[in-house]
Amino acid sequence: AAWFALPACESEEAVVGRSQSHGQAAEKRQTFRWLGFCFGDGGPLSAQTTSPGRAGRGAREAGGDSFGGHRAAQISAQELQAFREYGESWYRSRKGLESRFQPREPLARQPQVTAEARCKLVSWLIPVHRHFGLSLEALCLAVNILDRFLATTPVAADCFQLLGVTALLIACKQVEVHPPSVKELLALCCDVFTRQQLRNLECIVLHRLDFDLAAPTVSFFLEHFSQVRLEARGADAGEAADARSLAAGVAELSLADYAFTKYAPSLLAASSLGLADRLLRHRSPLDLRVSGYPEELLRDCMDQLQLLVSLNRRSLSLLLPSEVAQKCPWLGVDR
């Protein structure tokens, strides 16, 4: 097995582990602390956008995608232009990369990390990425990095959360203008990990993944299919934007569920949009044939997504921009 080991281990089977001795179970439990979430200097979450472009957090928040990405309606002329020129080739090149970046049963060989733990970790990363005003793209990439790393390397329970923030950090360095600082990320883990540990794990992850980080994401395909839809005759921009927002929320939920790792991002994106259109009872839904998937595959994925949605209505309502959530009475949640 391709296990990462720290030095002086007696056997081949060691895992990425924090510095810690075997017998310190109590300490171990303590270090695995998702919850006490100290916010350091992060301050309260705020959605306000400062003037774009300038340094620091202002620009990050101005990204605006963080709250369900309800900006599809505001696609700029430039972006539409670029889409017209390049959309099809982007789609083909991204889609062509999907299988290479698809993690295959990432937990199959994990001795400690379970699907539940993964769910918990991703369920934690979701509010964390929102806290920093990061894009859905960054979150998707982080989960992809996480899964692909898990597929290569057994990870100890007590550094699984560290792996989560490391994956998020790497993803942000890849696609965000202003990645969160290491200090901020460590503070979110209640400082149970050290800067050095994060740096080391970052090295290991980058190395293991061979710097192959430009994975196609659900976020990309959501964007693409939404653009295709806007280009279609008789497109309803409002419906397209709502469907995109709801689908983004659904896709976000699906990241946390291990069962959905078997679906390719483009399939998840198309199915999320299809489900969103149905849930919102849209008159001119996206023609799912653009995804190129057979109907039964789409339907299977949509069914699973619907089940997921039904189990997580409350969480979903929190992932949606309020104007979209209001259009979803079945969420049954007062906001």
Residue in 41, 48, 196, 334 binding another protein, rule: CB under 8 A: 196
Does 146 bind another protein (CB under 8 A)? Our answer is no
DSSP run (H or E) holding 245: helix 237-256
Distance from C-alpha of 38 to C-alpha of 100, rounded to nearest angstrom:
37
Does 265 bind another protein (CB under 8 A)? Our answer is no
The answer to whether the beta carbons of residues 121 and 157 sit under 8 Å apart is no
Residue in 99, 199, 238, 289 binding another protein, rule: CB under 8 A: 199
Q: How far is the CB of 185 from another protein (least distance, A)?
A: 10
Does 184 bind another protein (CB under 8 A)? Our answer is no
Residue in 191, 231, 238, 278 binding another protein, rule: CB under 8 A: 278
Does 234 bind another protein (CB under 8 A)? Our answer is no
Does 50 bind another protein (CB under 8 A)? Our answer is no
Distance from C-alpha of 322 to C-alpha of 238, rounded to nearest angstrom:
15
Does 130 bind another protein (CB under 8 A)? Our answer is yes
Distance of alpha carbon 90 from its chain centroid, rounded? 20
Question: Which residues does residue 16 pair with via DSSP β-bridges, in sequence order?
Answer: 155
Distance from C-alpha of 15 to C-alpha of 280, rounded to nearest angstrom:
46
Does 162 bind another protein (CB under 8 A)? Our answer is no
- Tokens standing for 91? 């789609």
- Taking the least distance from each CB to another protein, the nearer of 84 and 289 is 84
Distance from C-alpha of 252 to C-alpha of 126, rounded to nearest angstrom:
8
Q: Which amino acid is at 167?
A: A
Distance from C-alpha of 121 to C-alpha of 161, rounded to nearest angstrom:
7
Q: Quick one: which of 128, 150, 148, 151 has its CA closest to 139?
A: 128
Residues in contact with another protein, total (CB under 8 A)? 144
Residue in 142, 143, 146, 157 binding another protein, rule: CB under 8 A: 157
Does 203 bind another protein (CB under 8 A)? Our answer is yes
Q: Which stretch binds another protein (CB under 8 A): 232-240, 264-272, 283-291, 297-305?
A: 297-305
Q: Any idea which residue has 């859905």 for tokens?
A: 136
Does 314 bind another protein (CB under 8 A)? Our answer is yes
Q: How far is the CB of 295 from another protein (least distance, A)?
A: 9
Residue in 40, 50, 98, 173 binding another protein, rule: CB under 8 A: 173
Which region, left, alpha or beta, applies to residue 210 given φ > 0 means left and ψ of -120 to 50 means alpha? left
Q: What are phi and psi of 287, to 5 degrees?
A: -80, 105
Question: Which residues does residue 155 pair with via DSSP β-bridges, in sequence order?
Answer: 16
Residue in 104, 105, 191, 207 binding another protein, rule: CB under 8 A: 207
- Name the DSSP class of 16: B
Residue 155: helix, strand or coil by DSSP?
Answer: strand
Does 113 bind another protein (CB under 8 A)? Our answer is yes
- Tokens standing for 230? 């806007």
Residue in 265, 312, 320, 325 binding another protein, rule: CB under 8 A: 312
Q: How far is the CB of 150 from another protein (least distance, A)?
A: 13
Does 309 bind another protein (CB under 8 A)? Our answer is yes
Question: Within 10 A of 86 (CB to CB), how many other CB atoms are there?
Answer: 11
Residue in 213, 228, 264, 325 binding another protein, rule: CB under 8 A: 213
Does 239 bind another protein (CB under 8 A)? Our answer is no
Residue in 31, 102, 144, 152 binding another protein, rule: CB under 8 A: 152
Distance from C-alpha of 87 to C-alpha of 306, rounded to nearest angstrom:
29
Does 179 bind another protein (CB under 8 A)? Our answer is yes
214-233 positions binding another protein, by CB under 8 A = 214, 219-220, 223-224, 227
Does 59 bind another protein (CB under 8 A)? Our answer is yes
Does 44 bind another protein (CB under 8 A)? Our answer is yes
